[in-house]
Amino acid sequence: MVYIKSWTEYQAEAEKLYEQQPERTRYCVKYRAADGSLVLKVTDDNLCLKYKTQSSIMLNRFEAFNLSMMSKMQNRRPVVSPPPAPQTASK
């Protein structure tokens, strides 16, 4: 398990991993208050992506990423509006 150093690379790779195998992918968040470190891990048992930071600036990015991942993991399908009813021609 190697930590990815770039946030944008980690976010793109983690979302791609989840989209490839959504039923096998797990997402784990660990926060240690003692040293203020945040560790994110996304794995499908074959590939493990980890990101670690102690920066409080990263919390906004983490929050947006977390919302993105949770919305993908809700197992909801997009609402499809029904097609418009065909109009009949008046004679």
Of the CA atoms within 13 Å of residue 56, those in its CB half-sphere come to 3
Instruction: Look at residue 78 in the predicted model and tell me its pLDDT.
Output: 63
Say if 46 falls within a structural domain.
yes
pLDDT on residue 22: 87
Distance of alpha carbon 28 from alpha carbon 49, whole angstroms: 10
Please tell me whether residue 12 adopts helix, strand or coil conformation. helix
Residue 42 pLDDT = 94
Residue 62 belongs to domain with CATH number: 3.30.720.10
Domain residues for the domain of 44 are 2-72
Task: Count CB atoms within 10 A of the CB of residue 50.
Answer: 17
The reported pTM is 0.73
The residue ranking higher by pLDDT, 79 or 42, is: 42
Confidence of residue 12 (pLDDT cuts 50, 70, 90): very high
Q: Is the pLDDT score of 91 beyond 70?
A: no
